[in-house]
Structure 1
Amino acid sequence: MKRALIIGASGGIGAAVAMALDARGVEVVGMSRSVNGLDVTDEASVAAHLGALEPGFDLILCATGALEIDGARPEKALSALSGKAMADQFAVNCIGPALVIKHGVRLLPARGRAVMAILSARVGSIGDNRLGGWYSYRAAKAAVNQVVHGAAIELGRSHADAICVALHPGTVATAFTAKYAGRHPTVSPDVAAGHLLGVIEGLSGADSGGFRDWRGDVVPW
């Protein structure tokens, strides 16, 4: 890996991945809302920021996401559903990454191995959902998994060696998860970054369009 673009580079996981890649001698371009003004929910912003970059990235990682938006917490029951809260979740957790894929494709090499990775979440798995609740967040993550799967099919026609995947990073000890980790075991962002990069490095063309966790195991749709 020689050149990587990290979207969401100011967040816990994004920053840790960027630092790990930099330590390996990879040229890293990091972008985020807080540092660069990149707003993944605004297509004009995504188009302008990614459009200013020169092609040739062999890794594009979208590490953006939100669990609470404008104080709206994950729902414990249907009675807590809010149309606005659900729309906000889709804007950040599905539409944003979809726009990154759309405008990031031109930055990948037409030939040669390259990875487009989108951070998803195991709770977006329909097959693995045994607890219910968290309707908006689960639905947005399930939707972005569908976007990744479809994008991988299209990308395979124009970039034969590219790999497009959804990745579950595990429960990482960040501000993102502070209120919700509960008794779930967590890992530091540095450890999570190492796990994710290990998975990314081990991917093959056959994995494109898939959904894998931090161990490299397939997560059911």
Structure 2
Amino acid sequence: MISASTKRSALAVILLLAVAMPAYAHVGEGTTSSFAAGFAHPLSGLDHMAAMIAVGGWAALTGGKAIWAWPLAFVSVMLAGGALGMLHVPVPFVEPAILASAMALGLLMTLAIDLPVSTGIAVIGLFALFHGHAHGTEVPENAGGLQYIAGFAAATALLHAVGIAAALSLGMRFRGLGRAAGAACAAVGVGLAFGVL
């Protein structure tokens, strides 16, 4: 029998995926002048949602220090990437790297790859840099960039928490379901890369 908390966690993940719209992680698109706009941004595209949920899920399936260190690393490096984007420092392959992050992080969650915490931080940090850069390049110089950045950092942390909650509630009792959630994240990345989603 599946517990009520497991059902609530699964429902939260399903609802987040159901309300997703195409990503606005492209320079010049979307509104970027408020906390609300920044908060909405990671929730507006399947690529961002899948990657960030996978970070939390993979961290929870790995356990130990990874549960807090990997999401913290993602948010921290994403903020650094956002600063680079705001400063107009060019970073190549941002969009392909964002799509690759959903695929790779979803696959790491699916396979429950048990890496040392420091190696996981390096992998997650690499992808976080690209996500942050995409967000940062969208902030107009005359806008409230700090509010926008705070918004996308808060939404990112929330998505990590959804991944952690789903993996802890589903993955620990039904490890196959936790891994299936990772496979769904990877499939989203593949679907977006090939224009299916």
TM-score between the two structures when normalised by the length of structure 1? 0.26
Larger relative contact order (C-alpha < 8 A, sep ≥ 6)? 2
More strand by share: 1
